[in-house]
Amino acid sequence: MLFEFFAPRLRAFVSKPGADRSVIEDVVQETFVNIWRKAHLYDPEKASASTWIYTVARNARIDFLRKAVRPAVDLTDPVLAVDPIQNPQQQLSQAEEGVRLQRALASLPDKQREVLKLAFFADLAHAEIAKELKLPLGTVKSRIRLALGRMRMEFGEDES
Amino acid sequence: MIRHHPSDELMLDYAAGSLGEASSLALATHLTLCPQCRAANQRLDAVGGNFFAHPVEGTPGQETLNSVMARISSEQAVPRAVAHPLHPALPQPLRLALGCDLDAVPWKRLGIDAYQCVISTRDKIATARLLRIPAGRPVPVHTHCGNELTLVLRGAFSDLTGNYTPGDFQEADDRLVHQPHAEPAEDCVCLAVTEAPLQFKSWAARIVQPFLGI
């Protein structure tokens, strides 16, 4: 069941050293309530369930822990630019995208994967990751660029 | 055609949720205008989702479930669709932050013939503002104490790093001393996010800086 699978993961996602237990509980609850509230916005063609739940949890974490708002794209915005070159037949299915992404992530050197994990799961910006790992900022930036470049390559997009 | 995009590290911070509100506003506005970066952003969200697949220790928590169920069953139906104006000029994240569209921006004079509108956010580190530089005019030479993000919305500007047209995104750090010029065809409107006050190079600009509010 959704709750049994995701509740412990969400708690791990929100937990930071020194974080208040009741705040963690608030974020976990808010995430599930928002999943229910926003279920009509979930499009399985566009994202896997865990990706969508990740975005809902991330937004709840920003709301409760950072007490901030996160401006985001509105896909119904009349100003939204659509890709004129995109051929619908070339578009990968969500499942195929997932397979490629996992392949790309699995092939990353540990040091690059560590940076991604700290970014997503320790709630650290890249400058904070550099401090945490006691590395020059440039080293962290280059690990991020190599990791994302590897992902672009997997999706046949590395034009640069 | 957008040629200048946000860096990988900025895209990562945005997807991971650690980017401040003012910079996130610049990202969300660029993503509205750039399908390529929007696809890259979706993929980064999927990286975040992918980490959820790893097993973790811990129990689901029956009390949590009870509280969630109680909240859901007491919830009222909420209005869903956002109403958009018919032909908006600015991307929605920016309209939302400004509380208006481009035709109603409360411009304030900035120096001799430039205009600005500071956008109120809860960000304590960085400030977002719209800048309007008249066609063909320069922005005074400046450096920054921190990073500066600039996103072109109307018109175009050039500096020593290149030419920037609508949708283009510039990231400058404190090493860049630049003098952007608006292109002569039309006024240039940009969203600018600065981490610290700009530092103007000329003594005259430095003297008037406190009065410009930039």
pLDDT of residue B174: 74
Full 3-state SS string of chain B: CCCCCCCHHHHHHHHHCCCCHHHHHHHHHHHHHCHHHHHHHHHHHHHHHHHCCCCCCCCCCHHHHHHHHHHHHCCCCCCCCCCCCCCCCCCHHHHHHHCCCHHHCCCEEECCCEEEEEECCCCCCCEEEEEEECCCCECCCEEECCCEEEEEEECCEEECCEEECCCCEEEECCCCCECCEECCCCCEEEEEEECCCEEECCHHHHHHHHHHCC
Of B32, B45, B60, which has the smallest distance from its Cβ to A47's Cβ? Answer: B45
Q: Within chain A, what is the greatest distance between any pair of CA atoms? A: 49
Gap from A108 CA to chain B (nearest CA, Å): 13
Q: Compute and round to an integer the Cα radius of gyration of chain B.
A: 21
As given in the structure block, the two tokens for residue B11 are 């895209």
B50/A72 Cβ within 8 A = no
* A100 min Cα distance to partner chain B (Å): 10
ipTM: 0.93
What total number of domains does chain B contain? Answer: 1
Rounded to the nearest angstrom, the minimum Cα separation between B193 and chain A is 14
In the 8-state DSSP scheme, what is residue A83? -
Residue A41's pLDDT is 84
Q: What percent of chain B has pLDDT over 90?
A: 56
Q: At what angle do helices A137-154 and B35-51 cross, to 10 degrees?
A: 100
Task: Tell me if residue A155 falls in helix, strand or coil.
Answer: coil
On chain B, the residues whose CB falls within 8 A of the CB of A121 are 51
The structural domains of chain A, ordered by start, are 1-71 (1.10.1740), 105-160 (1.10.10.10)
Nearest-neighbour CA in chain B from A61: distance (Å) = 8
- Phi and psi at residue A120, to the nearest 5°: -80, -40
Question: Looking at chain A, which residue has its C-alpha nearest residue B26?
Answer: A71
A73: nearest CB among B28, B72, B167: B28
**CB-closest option in A53, A73, A155 to B52:** A53
Distance spanning both ends of chain A, measured CA to CA = 43
**Is residue A88 within 8 angstroms of chain B, CB to CB?**
no
Helix/strand/coil for A1: coil
Rounded CA separation A34/B75 (Å)? 11
Task: Supply B185's token pair.
Answer: 């065809």
- Domain that includes residue B177, residue range: 1-50+93-214
CB-CB under 8 Å, B45 with A51: yes
Q: What is the pLDDT of residues A42-87, one digit of tens each?
A: 888 888 889 999 999 999 999 888 888 899 999 999 999 987 666 5
How wide is the angle at C-alpha B110 spanned by C-alphas B109 and B116, nearest 5°? Answer: 75
Mean pLDDT, residues B29-53 taken together: 93
In a domain, B183, yes or no: yes
For residue B93, the chain A residues in CB contact (below 8 A) are 71-74
Alpha-carbon gap: B99 to the closest alpha carbon of chain A (Å): 13
| Domain contains B164 | yes
pLDDT tens per residue across span B113-152: 789 999 999 998 899 999 999 999 887 666 566 788 999 9
Q: How far apart are CA B50 and CA B42, in angstroms?
A: 12
Q: Give yes or no for a contact between B200 and B152, defined as CB atoms under 8 angstroms apart.
A: no
Distance CA A40, CA B83 (A): 17
From chain A residues 90-129, the ones with a CB under 8 A of any chain B CB are 97-98, 101-102, 105, 116-117, 119-121, 123-126, 128
Could you tell me which residue, A11 or B90, shows the higher pLDDT? B90
In a domain, B63, yes or no: no
User: Is residue B31 pLDDT above 90, yes or no?
Assistant: yes
What CATH number has the domain bearing residue B38?
Answer: 2.60.120.10
A48 — contact with chain B (CB < 8 Å)? yes
Mean pLDDT of B29-45: 95
Residue to mutate among A59, A74, A146, with most B CBs inside 10 A, is A74
